[in-house]
Amino acid sequence: MQSRRNQRYQKTGLSETQQDYHIARRRMVQEQLRAETTDRRVLDAMAKIPRHLFVEEGLWGQAYSDRPLSIGEGQTISQPRIVAMMTAALQLMGDEKVLEIGTGCGYQTAVLCECAREVYSIERIGSLSHRARRRLYEIGDVRFHLRIGDGTVGWPEHAPFDAIIVTAGAPAVPDALVQQLADGGRLVIPVGGECQQQLLRMTRRGRDVVTERLTACRFVKLIGEAGWPS
């Protein structure tokens, strides 16, 4: 005889494993992310996107815990709280053109695709970018454009951007990124030393830029022309 649990899975059309991850995602939103933000768009996106599919299968069981995880090449996917907080700090309403520096495994890119109109993302490590592209197609996202290269110079051909997010720690704010912000646009970036940074939000107001300090944080290094040397 089938268990009640199994019968319920069959009704939803999800396999038992998919249903377990669905529950884990909802729990992540309730228990970790609601304390970080009330932005419905961000919470809904993170409740929907299968974060486990962006990491190695051996790490699937940890994909919804409050911790960064390895994505290979010495890089990490940020913990869910940080992804939620940084995305919320961009103040997206759904119609923006966004630039992300540091595609990594593509998870943050997928969250941005849910919250904005169009996403441009740059990653300096080719193998990570290729893997991210495959995963994003697999989960059905299509509103992204990926480039392999140095994101500290931005993506001038597609500027200006309504929002720019940098997911690696910079020694100073790259000037090119500020130049590529639209009027009213927001740049969210960790800036500071190799071991600790301050998360900043910079908002362009005409010729002026208003800077807010959001929180202390710790990211892998932003390496490039206007970042750390390799």
80 binds ligand SAM (CB under 6 A): no
| Identified catalytic residue from 65, 78, 129, 230 | 78
Determine the interface stretch with ligand SAM among 13-21, 100-108, 137-145, 199-207 (rule: CB under 6 A): 100-108
Binding pattern for the stretch 146-185 against ligand SAM, x by CB under 6 A and - elsewhere: ----xxx--------------xx-----------------
Cα torsion 206, 115, 52, 141: sign: negative
Q: Which of 119, 84, 85, 128 is nearest to 99 (CA)?
A: 119
Torsion of the alpha carbons at 207, 92, 224 and 125, rounded to the nearest 10: -160
3 catalytic, yes or no? no
Binding residue for ligand SAM (CB under 6 A) from 45, 71, 98, 164? 71
Q: How far is the CB of 66 from ligand SAM (least distance, A)?
A: 15
**Closest to ligand SAM by CB, 78 or 197:** 78
Each residue 110-139 as x (binds ligand SAM by CB under 6 A) or -, in order, gives ------------xxxx--x-----------
Q: Determine if 79 is a binding residue for ligand SAM (CB under 6 A).
A: no
Binding status of residue 197 toward ligand SAM by CB under 6 A: no
Considering the complex, state which of residue 10 and residue 196 has its C-beta at the smaller distance from ligand SAM: 196
Residue type, 28: M
Selected binder of ligand SAM within 101, 112, 113, 187 (CB under 6 A): 101
CA neighbours closer than 13 Å in the CB half-sphere of residue 133:
14
Site residues (vs ligand SAM, CB under 6 A): 71, 75-78, 101-102, 104-105, 107-108, 122-125, 128, 150-152, 167-168, 219-220, 222-224, 227
Q: Which residues are catalytic?
A: 78
